[in-house]
Amino acid sequence: MEGSTGEENRSGTNDELTTPKMASERYNPQAAEPRWQAAWSEAGIFRTSNDDPRPRYYVLEMFPYPSGRIHIGHVRNYAMGDVVARFMRAKGYNVLHPMGWDAFGLPAENAAIANQVHPRAWTYDNIATMRGQLQTMGLSLDWSREFATCDEDYYAQQQRLFLDLLGADLAYRKSSKVNWDPVDQTVLANEQVIDGRGWRSGAEVEQRELTQWFFRITAYSDDLLTALETLDRWPAKVRLMQHNWIGRSDGLRIRFALVEPAPSGSDELEVYSTRHDTLFGASFMAVSPDHTLATELAEANSNLAAFIAECRRAGTSAATIETAEKKGFDTGLRVHHPFQDGKQLPVFVANFVLMDYGTGAIFGCPGHDQRDLDFARQYDLPVVPVVLPPDTVEADFAIAGEAYLGEGRMINSAFLNGLTIAEAKETVAQRLEQATMSQAPQGVRQTNYRLRDWGISRQRYWGCPIPVIHCKSDGVVPVPVGDLPVRLPDDVELGRPGNPLDHHPTWKHVACPKCGKPAVRETDTMDTFVDSSWYFARFTAPGASTPTEPETANAWLPVDQYIGGIEHAILHLLYSRFFIRAMRATGHLDVSEPFAGLFTQGMVVHETYRRDDSSWASPAEIRVEEQAGDRRAVEIDTGNEVEIGAVEKMSKSRRNTVDPTDIMDSYGADTARLFMLSDSPPDRDVIWTEDGVAGAHRFVQRIWRMVEEWTVLRADPAPPPDKSASSHTLRKSAHHTLAAVEEGFGSLRFNVAVAKIYELANAIGNGLAERPQDDRSRAAIEEAIGLMIEMMAPVMPHLAEACWRRLGHDDLVATRPWPTVDHSLLVEDTLTLPVQINGKKRGELTIAADASQVEVETAALELDIVRRMLDGQPPKKVVVVPKRIVNVVF
């Protein structure tokens, strides 16, 4: 990298005639940015060695899905991560900052069908495009570690992990209910079912019982829950969401004796309850339509069978459930109440009881559960209140339309009467634990979780094949590790419904590894969330011939700072926490959590524009005019006014997207990065506005102009009269700023750090305006400009390099250590304290910083305004908070 010309834009013939001396040429990011990117790349400074002795720091942004183009959200995400990476590198850490591609998934198959391209070609083409776009951002990434999850090498290791999980009983096959799209002949994830219909086919989704692969995430329910407390650098919100998702509840499993035995001969019905205190309020029992008792009774009862079939037909979508009435079918069976001799409760099959929670059966207490109450009203069952709210007279208390869920004392409950809910629960639990029924306790305390095992089977082509073989005689046989990877076939027919791997003519037919007889491969592929559950570990040793190099993974993990969208609060972040545990159990690493620090960034949102015909116009198609505070938007082509609508998340359907490459083409990457990081706190949504981008760009140009001006000024041999007296002040602001920016970057408060840099720029601008000529002032400005450049480098790395070079340095800012704060400059020798009278600010007091409290108090009472307001009377009290404030009370 030689010389300094080329950063300036010398376009226009006039420039050559004017004197170049004071005419500040505009900074030209289009010329400068690629050049500095090349310089960094040549110097290899972002390549991370695993053997570097410095302390390690791993910063990672959620890797992108290669959809085709980067969008503005990526720019925000990666700009934040890059500030952290560059800052921590300057602070002396060996920083790992890698990038890869979450490359399997259904969009590639859809694109393949629509455009007659192979999913692989489509995906890798997109990766190439997006890699190029990311590189124009000037991110300090170690590209040597790049991989895509659809790389054979990556999914081979993932298959190996699967086999290890299978061996550790953390992967298993079971039959379960899934969303089945009868037209596309595939399983759909819950998110892909919209209003009960398949998102692509529009067909009504059925609940179908299918044999699927699962990961046993529930083996870690308790650990996943309790370890949330250790994640003190995660947003409380995300921890709370995971807490609720895992959903621990402590209750009692209770066995009720059947009055007459079930068809199977069983003489009991087991339920689960967290409100066993309300046992005396029970008025019915209800089992799920999928409960074995329901199934066996239905064999001899066609009405019941019809009822069960009806329940199954009803969808499970949120909308369906919300409107669904509570329905039941009286089986005619009865149970004995455990505490009330002679009391019998009817057993219903009810549509609102879930099979996969607790035991699939409940006792209904209408007084204190809304669903039970709705049900009881429907079928005229008794409603007995057993919890009396505080300060309520029993005679006045009745349950009408709403169940009572609050605190209180027990009534109508024999030996429980007068107890609190907690006491009653304990008493009931103890009694039922001691009661014996068929030689076992009638009640057992049990902790339940809402969390379900993770179904990972997908009937799709573009994913990681599940490496097992089904053999008629040997059952499920794992593919031997030596035979991995199970490769995806290239020739695949995607147009027709169903699983492409299943109807491939030859792919699935193999010999059983055990007996050698003909067998078939598993044709399901893995959920793409599996791919993203361990990629951060792979980055630590991306070329390893095993999934990880355990020592290397242990040295780098957990990720020190992970940054991404809140939409993954549960899915990806919970799956990754499971995977770390599973990989630990199978010896691939030995850490307890994947991400020590998590930051969830806000979205980028934009105004919407709507034409008269209610079609949407994109920001590129309109021009916003502003007159006397009124804003109106006009379509450029037609001149028609369009309506300015709400600020919303950028989406294709609203057409309110902006293409980051357009911004970078016209303003440069530094402007885009600066705009993304200034103004809005990073965890909140940022509104994309033309004015905001232009403002950021103005700052970029202003910095460059300042540096230009300074290089001229400091070389000026004919000094104008020196008026500067502020060198000390400038040095102080520079070091104050440094301390604040350091704090801001360290705590990811980029907007505050940027504001502090602006303040310093203003101070330097004032300094330049004074045309400083004495050595001290010149040195102060030289120092302040240098510090400013080093501080802004994490945000605007290209501009920083250009300025640094312009000032005559020949090293790269990217390789410089973070400057050290001179703390002696942060100490003030005099302070200006606000003086309050009766809590209202009335004046100021300037006094030596080391003045004693008495001196401050005395000086405050001497102030004109204080004397005037006291008017001779003595103050009741004078509060002096050192270095903060004085408050005179009278």
**Element (DSSP H or E) covering residue 16:** helix 14-17
Scanning 551-559, 634-642, 685-693, 779-787 for contacts with RNA by CB under 7 A, the matching segment is 685-693
Based on the shown chain and the rule CB under 7 A, indicate whether residue 417 belongs to the binding site for RNA: no
CA distance 657 to 636: 17
**DSSP 8-state code for residue 483:** G
CA distance 205 to 199: 10
Scanning 36-44, 453-461, 757-765, 775-783 for contacts with RNA by CB under 7 A, the matching segment is 757-765
Nearer to RNA by C-beta: 271 or 591? 271
Q: If we measure between CA atoms, which residue out of 317, 105, 13 comes closest to residue 195? A: 317
Nearer to RNA by C-beta: 126 or 359? 359
Based on the shown chain and the rule CB under 7 A, indicate whether residue 844 belongs to the binding site for RNA: yes
CA distance 272 to 446: 8
Contact predicate 849/831, CB 8 Å: yes
Report the nearest approach of RNA to the CB of residue 758 (Å).
3
Scanning 48-56, 266-274, 331-339, 520-528 for contacts with RNA by CB under 7 A, the matching segment is 266-274
Nearer to RNA by C-beta: 1 or 826? 826
C-beta neighbour count of 380 within 10 angstroms: 7
CA distance 549 to 325: 56
Based on the shown chain and the rule CB under 7 A, indicate whether residue 651 belongs to the binding site for RNA: no
Based on the shown chain and the rule CB under 7 A, indicate whether residue 377 belongs to the binding site for RNA: no
* Interface positions, 692-711, toward RNA (CB under 7 A): 692, 694-695, 698-699, 701-702, 705
Please pick, from the candidates 125, 759, 770, 783, the single residue that binds RNA as defined by CB under 7 A.
759
* Interface positions, 436-475, toward RNA (CB under 7 A): 448, 450
CA distance 789 to 781: 12
Report the nearest approach of RNA to the CB of residue 177 (Å).
12
Scanning 206-214, 346-354, 484-492, 637-645 for contacts with RNA by CB under 7 A, the matching segment is 346-354
Strands 387-388 and 457-458: unpaired
**Element (DSSP H or E) covering residue 803:** helix 797-806
* Interface positions, 519-578, toward RNA (CB under 7 A): 566, 569-570
Scanning 128-136, 213-221, 236-244, 502-510 for contacts with RNA by CB under 7 A, the matching segment is 236-244
Report the nearest approach of RNA to the CB of residue 348 (Å).
12
CA-to-CA dists, residue 331 to 254, 263, 269, 302, 770, angstroms: 20, 12, 13, 12, 94
Nearer to RNA by C-beta: 469 or 763? 763
Please pick, from the candidates 226, 274, 344, 392, the single residue that binds RNA as defined by CB under 7 A.
274
* Interface positions, 594-633, toward RNA (CB under 7 A): 626, 628-629
Helix axes 72-90, 727-746, angle to 10 degrees: 120
CA distance 80 to 59: 10
Nearer to RNA by C-beta: 286 or 519? 286
Q: Which residues contact 347 (CB under 8 A, 6 or more apart)?
A: 258, 269, 284, 285, 286, 287, 293, 330, 331, 332, 333, 334, 335
Report the nearest approach of RNA to the CB of residue 884 (Å).
3
Helix axes 775-792, 727-746, angle to 10 degrees: 10
Scanning 67-75, 294-302, 469-477, 688-696 for contacts with RNA by CB under 7 A, the matching segment is 688-696
**Element (DSSP H or E) covering residue 604:** strand 604-610
Please pick, from the candidates 176, 420, 446, 689, the single residue that binds RNA as defined by CB under 7 A.
689
Scanning 32-40, 269-277, 540-548, 723-731 for contacts with RNA by CB under 7 A, the matching segment is 269-277
* Interface positions, 285-314, toward RNA (CB under 7 A): 288, 314
Long-range contacts of 619-622 (CB under 8 A, 24+ apart): 619/656, 619/657, 619/658, 619/690, 620/658, 620/662
Nearer to RNA by C-beta: 100 or 744? 744
Based on the shown chain and the rule CB under 7 A, indicate whether residue 139 belongs to the binding site for RNA: no
**519 - beta bridge partners?**
510
Nearer to RNA by C-beta: 131 or 177? 177
Nearer to RNA by C-beta: 331 or 887? 887
**388 - beta bridge partners?**
409
Nearer to RNA by C-beta: 76 or 326? 326
Contact predicate 458/181, CB 8 Å: no
Based on the shown chain and the rule CB under 7 A, indicate whether residue 247 belongs to the binding site for RNA: yes
Report the nearest approach of RNA to the CB of residue 440 (Å).
21
SS3 category, 5: coil
Q: How many residues bind to RNA according to rule CB under 7 A?
A: 85
Question: HSE (CB half, 13 Å, CA atoms) of 152?
Answer: 7
Please pick, from the candidates 128, 422, 725, 769, the single residue that binds RNA as defined by CB under 7 A.
769
Report the nearest approach of RNA to the CB of residue 605 (Å).
10
Scanning 143-151, 259-267, 335-343, 750-758 for contacts with RNA by CB under 7 A, the matching segment is 750-758
C-beta neighbour count of 558 within 10 angstroms: 18
Q: Which amino acid is at 645?
A: G
* Interface positions, 152-171, toward RNA (CB under 7 A): none
Based on the shown chain and the rule CB under 7 A, indicate whether residue 283 belongs to the binding site for RNA: no
Nearer to RNA by C-beta: 353 or 488? 353
**How many helices and strands (H and E) does the chain possess?**
26, 37
Q: Which amino acid is at 403?
A: A
Q: If we measure between CA atoms, which residue out of 763, 856, 834, 754 comes closest to residue 795? A: 754
Report the nearest approach of RNA to the CB of residue 128 (Å).
33
Please pick, from the candidates 244, 344, 640, 852, the single residue that binds RNA as defined by CB under 7 A.
244
3-state helix/strand/coil string of 289-323: CCCHHHHHHHCCCHHHHHHHHHHHHCCCCHHHHHH
Q: SS3 breakdown of the chain: % helix, strand, coil, rounded to 5?
A: 40, 20, 40
Please pick, from the candidates 168, 203, 219, 687, the single residue that binds RNA as defined by CB under 7 A.
687
SS3 category, 511: strand
**644 - beta bridge partners?**
609
Nearer to RNA by C-beta: 173 or 327? 327
Based on the shown chain and the rule CB under 7 A, indicate whether residue 418 belongs to the binding site for RNA: no
Report the nearest approach of RNA to the CB of residue 378 (Å).
12
DSSP one-letter string for 187-203: EE-GGGEETTEETTT-P
Nearer to RNA by C-beta: 251 or 443? 251
Nearer to RNA by C-beta: 552 or 766? 766
Nearer to RNA by C-beta: 305 or 570? 570
Nearer to RNA by C-beta: 274 or 430? 274
* Interface positions, 810-839, toward RNA (CB under 7 A): 832, 834, 836, 838-839
Report the nearest approach of RNA to the CB of residue 88 (Å).
21
**Element (DSSP H or E) covering residue 387:** strand 387-388
Report the nearest approach of RNA to the CB of residue 110 (Å).
24
Please pick, from the candidates 100, 281, 358, 772, the single residue that binds RNA as defined by CB under 7 A.
358
Please pick, from the candidates 228, 353, 519, 617, the single residue that binds RNA as defined by CB under 7 A.
353
Based on the shown chain and the rule CB under 7 A, indicate whether residue 371 belongs to the binding site for RNA: yes
**837 - beta bridge partners?**
840, 888
Based on the shown chain and the rule CB under 7 A, indicate whether residue 367 belongs to the binding site for RNA: no
Report the nearest approach of RNA to the CB of residue 226 (Å).
18
CA distance 750 to 314: 50
**DSSP 8-state code for residue 559:** B
Q: Which amino acid is at 91?
A: K
Based on the shown chain and the rule CB under 7 A, indicate whether residue 109 belongs to the binding site for RNA: no
Nearer to RNA by C-beta: 341 or 391? 391
C-beta neighbour count of 611 within 10 angstroms: 16
CA-to-CA dists, residue 189 to 178, 362, 458, angstroms: 8, 28, 9
